Amino acid sequence: MEGLRHSAVAMLITGRCQMDDRTAVRRRLDLHNISIDFAAATSGLCGFTHLDSGRVCQLPHRHHGPCHLQDRARQPAERAAGAPRG
């Protein structure tokens, strides 16, 4: 509660909120979106996922131009789950 009160007071004094601070490192606000690959996004990539094909954009976050979709690298657990059992 104290942190919230401090933020509100700071906003009243400065006339802007913390989200307006351009000097702070920008957090990815789209990580909760199902069309964003979390692993790619947290490593600094765009991470946009084409939901039908599962391909993921491997370009840097906030890149210019269209996405460059590639098959995403499968994690070891996914490879094991997809491996034929015998």
- Higher-confidence residue of 70 and 4: namely 70
Residue holding tokens 């990539």?
45
Q: pLDDT tens for residues 26-67?
A: 678 888 899 999 999 999 999 999 999 999 999 999 999 999
Domain boundaries, the chain: 31-72
pTM across the whole model: 0.55
DSSP secondary structure string for all residues of 5-57: HHHHHHHHHHSS-GGG-TTSPPP-TTTTSTTB-HHHHHTTB--BB-TTT--EE
Query: Contact, 10 vs 24, CB < 8 A?
Result: no
How does the average pLDDT of the chain come out, rounded? 75
Per the document, the length of the chain is 86
